[in-house]
A and B are shown apart, each in its own frame.
Chain A
Amino acid sequence: MLKLIWLIPVLPLVGVAINGLFGQRLSRAAVAVIGCGVVLVALGVSAGAVLELSRLDAGARYFETTLGTWIPMGPMGAAGTMTAIPWGFALDPLSSIMILVVTGVGFLIHVYSVAYMEHEEGFARFFVYMNLFMSMMLTLVLGSNLLVTFVGWEGVGLCSYLLIGFFYDRPFDARTGLSCADAGRKAFLVNRVGDFAFVIGMLYLITTFGTLDYRGIAAAITGAGGAHHALLVTVGILLFVGACGKSAQIPLYVWLPDAMAGPTPVSALIHAATMVTAGVYMVVRMSTLYAHAPEAMGVIAVVGAATAIFAATMGITATDIKKVLAYSTVSQLGYMFAAAGVGAYTAAIFHLMTHAFFKALLFLGAGSVIHGQHGEQDITKMGGLRSKLPVTFATFMTATLAIAGIFPLAGFFSKDEILWGAWSSGNKIVWGVLALSAGLTAFYMFRLTFLVFYGNYRGDPRTFHHAHESPRAMTVPLMTLAALSVVGGWIGIPAVLGTTFLGGDVNVFHRWLQPAVAAGHAEAAAGEAAGASLEFALMGAALAIALAGIGIAFVIYRQREGAAASIAATFRPVYTMWRNLYWVDELYEAAILKPFYAISRISSGFDRFVIDGLVNAAAIVADLTGQILKLFQTGYVRNYALVFLMGVVAMLVYLATV
């Protein structure tokens, strides 16, 4: 199976080809079977390959296969080594987790989409985009060098654009007047900013080390032994800027909330579970580089923590069910980056995985809620849907508990590992910020749950009357993901819990991933030395903060009617600021777009009056010359003969006089 890993990204392409070429003529059932089938086969191949990988020795778990040379480049780098960039795919513990998450969660979401998109136009087009996304995402995670990863990186960006603008003829946001197509364009353009930095980072790497191969770069950096320090910091930050764009971190997060214009399964797959985590994956993939560039790691930790709390506050006041989840995603991605920034790479990937489970579940649950009410997304118009959507409610509640970090669900373990990583690496401020945003997360998630599922319905009673549970094709993926959200964390039980209660370190996840990421973080070894009691205390504190968040949400949204409104009135400036998302969109509008438009207007004027003026002047001169010269063309042959004669006479006279 290992030799077949190149098939994993290629299989979904088969679906793209079939549905893309013949989708219009195939029945919906056939399109659905092909669309889901290729992902299922890819999942099977992935599982087989990972199983085979696990049979190897821990240190030897690396398999690379090359499909051929892509770009022969000649001598590159300081050493002048002959460089050729191959189409290489590599499977190691890190990419194995990614392909399982991508194909596993991806398959569930594909199945869900069959029912969700049932009544929509462009059913085949939807599955073509989704399959193309799967192919590109798998290329991204399996690429054995940065450039192959970058192909996938741009490919998922393209699919993201196409799927956000899937309902390209519909309006999206009344506040900003965006249409769905605008939202797609916004995502694409914001990502360009990050990709620009990413490309420059790659160029620095290849001109310095003469390779873009992950292992080659790691070996070169380790071999250089502390040389190139300034360059590594620069490259680290440049690559991170690229990750900021893809993974929606400050200051490039603005596209993700608007990406909710896409169909809900797309939000679940691309804008929650997989694509947006590509930045985290890339940072962890380059962990050797970051381990040698602590300043860059500091930047990542600060940006990640700031994003975590910043986005959480915006999630508190959002009223669109999907936007709440979008801000939550931005916040959780901030968590992952903060983890990578403090050196807890394993924790970052662990949270990436558990987050993929429960956030995909939350989005699919939200999709089920929207589907059940025929398109209503405003949570202020919902309420009491618990009785109407029992399965959705139960699974949504599971995911809410998981993201809030309640023991023993998946989110508890991954979040705790990040918090412990922050504390034990000495970043106490990062710990504080992350712990606070964990409380905020619990608060806004329970606010969402209470507003949607409890109390009385606040919208049109007829909508409530017609509200219905979703079909099995949607509820079964929900239940599967709910199960994963519960048990998904158990493969990464912290060592301190394992040794105390389970009679040994049962952190399978950590052991599996360790050979693939850079060492040099304080996480495990130092943790044990620092004392188990401290770790328990911090764990308890995190749990207490989460419970406090839930408690406050309960008091405000369940116990006291109108409490939310009166609190909003008391803290009106803060509330207004959060409602308007800190005016960041407006700031970008004023600071970047307006000057850009002004420059465009000047350029356009220059083009129209100066450049076009020169061209027109040339034409006018030619025209006038012609107008004068045409007078000599009388059309009378005898005139010409006369002129000819005069010429001859003139020449003769001239010759005679000389």
Chain B
Amino acid sequence: MIDPRLVLVLSAVLLALGVVGVLTSSSAISILMCVELMLNAGNLALITFARIRGGPEAQIYVFFVMTLAAAEAAAGLAIVIALFRLRGTTDVDEINLLKW
């Protein structure tokens, strides 16, 4: 039995990695992947809490998050593809048409 606190630390590290990735990466694909990473860090934390509490609720949340993440990835990738077709790039710094 691993100490749940270690798992929570891992979850926090994964989340931090995701955040840093989102903030530093300029590729839309990388950003999406980092977002996925952050979501899964959350999932990990939820599973851990489920284990600590011994109930099923948190596991149900995880299923919701996973479904949501799948949908988000599909929509996000579709947008990225559309963007790429339109502008020939996936660099989010170039996509600033709505700026003054």
The contact string, 1 if C-beta is below 8 Å from chain B, for chain A 612-656, is: 000000000000000000100111111001100100000000000
Q: Determine how close the nearest CB of chain B comes to the CB of A290; give it in whole angstroms.
A: 76
- B residues 5-42 near A (Cβ < 8 Å) are 19, 22-26, 31
Which A residues are in CB contact (< 8 Å) with B92?
636-638
Interface residue range, chain B: 10 to 19
Are A645 and B19 also in contact (CB < 8 A) when A633-B99, A635-B98 are? yes
Task: Indicate if B3 sits at the interface (CB-CB under 8 A).
Answer: no
Which B residues are in CB contact (< 8 Å) with A638?
22-26, 92-93
Which B residues are in CB contact (< 8 Å) with A634?
99
Which B residues are in CB contact (< 8 Å) with A637?
31, 92-93, 95
Q: Are B23 and A645 in contact (CB under 8 A)?
A: yes
Which B residues are in CB contact (< 8 Å) with A633?
99-100
Q: Is the interface of A mostly helix, strand, loop or mixed?
A: helix
Q: Are A642 and B98 in contact (CB under 8 A)?
A: no
CA A484 – CA B10 in complex, angstroms? 121
CA A645 – CA B38 in complex, angstroms? 13
Report the count of interface residues on A (CB-CB < 8 A).
Answer: 10
Q: Are A636 and B23 in contact (CB under 8 A)?
A: no
Q: Quick one: which of B23, B26, B99 contacts A635, CB cutoff 8 A?
A: B99
CA A294 – CA B22 in complex, angstroms? 98
CA A637 – CA B98 in complex, angstroms? 12
Q: Are B22 and A641 in contact (CB under 8 A)?
A: yes
CA A528 – CA B54 in complex, angstroms? 130
Residue of A nearest to B26 (CB): A638
Q: Determine how close the nearest CB of chain A comes to the CB of B95; give it in whole angstroms.
A: 8
Are A642 and B100 also in contact (CB < 8 A) when A636-B93, A637-B92 are? no
Q: Determine how close the nearest CB of chain A comes to the CB of B31; give it in whole angstroms.
A: 8
Q: Determine how close the nearest CB of chain B comes to the CB of A624; give it in whole angstroms.
A: 14
CA A633 – CA B19 in complex, angstroms? 21
Q: Are B22 and A635 in contact (CB under 8 A)?
A: no
CA A638 – CA B92 in complex, angstroms? 8
CA A636 – CA B23 in complex, angstroms? 10
Residue of A nearest to B28 (CB): A637
Q: Are A641 and B23 in contact (CB under 8 A)?
A: yes
CA A547 – CA B100 in complex, angstroms? 93
Q: Are B96 and A635 in contact (CB under 8 A)?
A: yes
Q: Are A630 and B100 in contact (CB under 8 A)?
A: yes
Q: Determine how close the nearest CB of chain A comes to the CB of B75; give it in whole angstroms.
A: 16
Q: Determine how close the nearest CB of chain B comes to the CB of A656; give it in whole angstroms.
A: 15
- A residues 506-546 near B (Cβ < 8 Å) are none
Q: Are B99 and A642 in contact (CB under 8 A)?
A: no
Q: Determine how close the nearest CB of chain B comes to the CB of A625; give it in whole angstroms.
A: 13
Which A residues are in CB contact (< 8 Å) with B96?
635-636
Q: Determine how close the nearest CB of chain A comes to the CB of B79; give it in whole angstroms.
A: 12
CA A633 – CA B97 in complex, angstroms? 12
CA A153 – CA B65 in complex, angstroms? 82
Q: Determine how close the nearest CB of chain A comes to the CB of B59; give it in whole angstroms.
A: 25
CA A645 – CA B100 in complex, angstroms? 24
Q: Determine how close the nearest CB of chain A comes to the CB of B19; give it in whole angstroms.
A: 6
The contact string, 1 if C-beta is below 8 Å from chain A, for chain B 67-100, is: 0000000000000000000000000110110111
- B residues 46-77 near A (Cβ < 8 Å) are none
Which B residues are in CB contact (< 8 Å) with A642?
23
CA A635 – CA B100 in complex, angstroms? 8
Residue of B nearest to A639 (CB): B23
Which A residues are in CB contact (< 8 Å) with B100?
630, 633
CA A589 – CA B92 in complex, angstroms? 73
Residue of B nearest to A634 (CB): B99
Residue of A nearest to B92 (CB): A637
Q: Determine how close the nearest CB of chain B comes to the CB of A643; give it in whole angstroms.
A: 11
CA A635 – CA B99 in complex, angstroms? 5
Residue of A nearest to B96 (CB): A635
Q: Determine how close the nearest CB of chain B comes to the CB of A391; give it in whole angstroms.
A: 85
CA A636 – CA B94 in complex, angstroms? 8
Q: Determine how close the nearest CB of chain A comes to the CB of B28; give it in whole angstroms.
A: 9
Q: Determine how close the nearest CB of chain B comes to the CB of A647; give it in whole angstroms.
A: 13
Residue of B nearest to A636 (CB): B93
Q: Determine how close the nearest CB of chain B comes to the CB of A400; give it in whole angstroms.
A: 84
Which B residues are in CB contact (< 8 Å) with A645?
19, 23
Which B residues are in CB contact (< 8 Å) with A635?
96, 98-99
CA A637 – CA B26 in complex, angstroms? 9
CA A634 – CA B24 in complex, angstroms? 16
CA A645 – CA B22 in complex, angstroms? 10
CA A630 – CA B93 in complex, angstroms? 17
Q: Determine how close the nearest CB of chain B comes to the CB of A481; give it in whole angstroms.
A: 80
A630, A638, A642 interface centre (most CB from chain B within 10 Å): A638
Residue of A nearest to B95 (CB): A637
CA A634 – CA B19 in complex, angstroms? 20
CA A633 – CA B24 in complex, angstroms? 18
Which A residues are in CB contact (< 8 Å) with B23?
638, 641-642, 645
CA A49 – CA B81 in complex, angstroms? 90
Which A residues are in CB contact (< 8 Å) with B99?
633-635
A635, A636, A645 interface centre (most CB from chain B within 10 Å): A635
Q: Determine how close the nearest CB of chain A comes to the CB of B48; give it in whole angstroms.
A: 19
Q: Determine how close the nearest CB of chain A comes to the CB of B67; give it in whole angstroms.
A: 23
Residue of A nearest to B19 (CB): A645
Residue of A nearest to B98 (CB): A635
Residue of B nearest to A645 (CB): B19
Which A residues are in CB contact (< 8 Å) with B95?
637
CA A459 – CA B92 in complex, angstroms? 92
Which A residues are in CB contact (< 8 Å) with B22?
638, 641
CA A150 – CA B23 in complex, angstroms? 80
Other contacts beyond A630-B100, A638-B24: 7, CB < 8 A: A633-B100, A634-B99, A635-B98, A636-B92, A637-B92, A638-B25, A638-B92
B residues sitting closer than 8 Å to A (CB atoms) are 19, 22-26, 31, 92-93, 95-96, 98-100
Could you pull out 25 A-B pairs where Cβ atoms are within 8 angstroms? A630-B100, A633-B99, A633-B100, A634-B99, A635-B96, A635-B99, A636-B92, A636-B93, A636-B96, A637-B31, A637-B92, A637-B93, A637-B95, A638-B22, A638-B23, A638-B24, A638-B25, A638-B26, A638-B92, A638-B93, A641-B22, A641-B23, A642-B23, A645-B19, A645-B23
